[in-house]
Structure formats: C-alpha cells, structure tokens
Copies of this chain bind each other. A is one copy, B any other.
Amino acid sequence: MKNLKGAALLGQSGGPTSVINSSAAGVFLEALKQENITDVYGAVHGIKGVLHEEFYDIRQEDVEELKLLKNTPSSAIGSVRYKLADPKKDDTDYKRLLEVFKKYNIRYFFYNGGNDSMDTCNKISKFFKKSGYDCNVMGVPKTIDNDLNITDHSPGFASAAKYVATSFMELYLDATVYAIPQITIVEVMGRNAGWLTAASALASYKGQGPDLIYVPEVAFDLEEFFEDVKRILKEKGKVLVAVSEGIKNAKGQYIAETLQELKTDAFGHAQLGGTAAVLATEVSNRINVKVRAIEFSLLQRSAAHLASKVDVEEAFKAGQKAVKAAVRGTTDKMVGFERVSSNPYKIKYKLISLKKAANEEQKLPLEWIKPRGQGFTQEFIDYALPLIQGESKAKLVDGLPRFAKLKKIRVQKK
C-alpha cells in the first residue's frame, strides 16, 4: 500500500534482549525522517498498550536520547506477553485494535519480537486487510533464542551468545582454581532451541569452555550424563557443563520437570528454570565432590556492556529497513537476514512473509551436534563466530553506562 499518510507505531514484545532497543532506535529515527509519517508512537507495553490506547509520543523525545537506545538493554517502552485469540474464534481484540488504529490514523505498524509476536503481527495484518483498513504491518525480529524461521539469525542472539561465550571462558578459569575435584553446571536460556547454549562451544573452541554441552534438540540421557561426567572428572579433575534450561529426556519431558512444579506463561509455554540446580542435586547424590549450579538468568539477555557490534548494528538496521520498506508500500513481512558468506562475514537483508516467519521454531541442525554432549562441529563455529564480533556499548559516565532516559510523554487519549 503506497503513499499511506499517517502515524507510525512501534510495539516491543516478549522477553527483552540487549539490542531490542537498538531496533527501536532504528524504527524511531527512520520514522521521524519520513514525510508520510505524521506521528511516531511507542506502544506502552506492546499490544496491550494498543488495546488500552496507551502510547508514548516519540516526537517529544530528544533525538540524542533516542540514539542512546542503541546501547540500552531491555525494552525501553515496555514489553508484554499477551497472546491474541484466533480471530476466527474471537475477534474482540482485533476489532478493538482496528478501532484504535483508525482513531489515531495509524498507518504503519512495527512489531519487534520473536515467533509469537510475528504470529500476532500476521494475524493483525490479515484482519486489517480483510477489514479494508490500509496499514502496512512489518515485523522486526528479536530473540536471544535465535529460533525465528527462515532468517539466518535474529537480533539479540549474537550479544547473548557473546555474553555466554565470554562468561564461560571466565568461569572456566575460575572453576579450575583449586586442586580439588569440582563439577560446575551452568544453565543457559533456551526452551526448545539450543542456539544460545551452543554458543558456549565458542569458549571451548578457544580452549577455555565447557567439557559437556546439552541442548534441547537431543534427548538427554541421565545415565550417559553421569558416565561422561565421571569419566571427565577422572581425567581432568574438573567438569564444566553447559545445559539448556529446556533439555528433555527421550520421552520429551523436561529434565527439570521431574523435580519441580511447572508453571505456564500466557502463551502456554512451560516456565522453566532450575535445570542446572536440579541436575547439580542429582550429581551430588551420586558423586561425592563439590558441585555448583550457576544460572545466567536475566543477565544473559540484558548484558549490553558485552553486546556484539555486529548485533547492535544489524538490530538497528532491521528497524530502519522495516520503516523504509513499509513506506515503500511493503506490508505483512518480517525483515530477515540471508548470509552471503561467513568469511568475510556478509549478509543481505530480505523480507520474509510474516506467516512463514511465525510460529515455526528454527532449531540447531542435528548434523552440527556432536554425540553425547561433546559439543559442535566446525560448521557451528563458522556460523556463530562472525556474529559476536566487535564491541558497541553505552558511553561510561563515572565508570558506569549512560543508558537512554526517555521522557515517556503520553499521547493524549482521543
């Protein structure tokens, strides 16, 4: 839909990353330049903010602060986990969204998130089209899990991967300090896709990483695990283990499931965590040495001080390109990456239909995974290493990062 004139709206969705705000900076700064975009709004806590007519007026922000968003972690305008119903079953939310979009003449909608958010985006886009409301809807990818479909990778993954690899190198040195046998089990986020846990293999590639790495793509066998831990303990005196929160047994049950009550989030996903702790307890019961469980927890998705420059720049450009494409008339697409070459690293941006991008998880290729937790093939290293290159972080003031501070002035409700 070309030459649409109206407001642009950005929503941030799902779990934050170190660079989701870099995409926001890309969207905002580009939207502010576009003649056809009359106003620039930020949805207060994603799609829920839209339903409640709660918007920040981005035109009232200082451009310098918006630029600082590039290196500010977390979701500056607030995020949400809210699943829209299937419009065929219940179109209440969609009708309300249409009403709000019309009322504020929102003609450009950008939604920055993972699989579920692209699904949301897709449903909204289709509903608007069916309703005859002209609005260009664009998805901007974001996920530390790297499980968005079709795109080579997603913004957020690389910085989290850099955090994981760097932290494993440091932990490796720490965990080998005493002349006593020791087992350290470190839990990395990742419910169904093991990309981020696999990033620990970059540390092993540098000779300072985990001995064993377990991802959800491969069934986890507790007995084999004990065998392998015991063998390495005998050989080296220390064992460093990387484990995805979402590892499952051969029956597909989460390993953490047996020992804790599971909660589910708004999307019906099991809320995991504690996998390392559960495993550490099991190991302690079987092997009489010092065992420690460490969880990277929220640190892995918010450590902007360790962001990859490649990631920060790509996240920004993905936002920028979404706006440019929308203004050119593109709708119903997500900005994605296609890898041209790994060495030297070169990507090209592409537009992927929202339907294809949404709701199918891109998992680690099984042929990249070595058997029995022994890490990953060179293909994975070649894939991941270019992504974590370079540094881009907030300027330090008093030795501490100067993150963006937005005024967050609300748009008056109409």
Contact = CB atoms under 8 A, between A and B. Distances in A.
A206 B400 contact: yes
B302 A298 contact: no
A278 interface: no
Instruction: Tell which of A167, A294, A398 has the most Cβ of chain B within 10 Å.
Output: A398
Nearest to A54: B179
A74 B403 contact: no
Q: How large is the interface on A (under 10, 10 to 19, 20 to 34, 35 or more residues)?
A: 35 or more
A329 interface: no
Interface stretch (A26-34, A77-85, A249-257): A77-85
Interface stretch (A94-102, A147-155, A384-392): A384-392
Given A45-B178, A173-B72, A298-B175, A166 B403 contact: no
Nearest to A161: B399
A170 B302 contact: yes
A81 B180 CA distance: 10
A367 to B, nearest CB: 23
Interface string A39-57: 0000011001000000000
B79 A177 contact: yes
Given A179-B48, A400-B206, A170 B74 contact: yes
Interface of A: 15-16, 44-45, 48, 72-76, 78-81, 162, 165-167, 169-171, 173-179, 184, 202-203, 206-208, 292, 294-295, 297-299, 301-306, 308, 385, 388-391, 396, 398-401, 403, 405
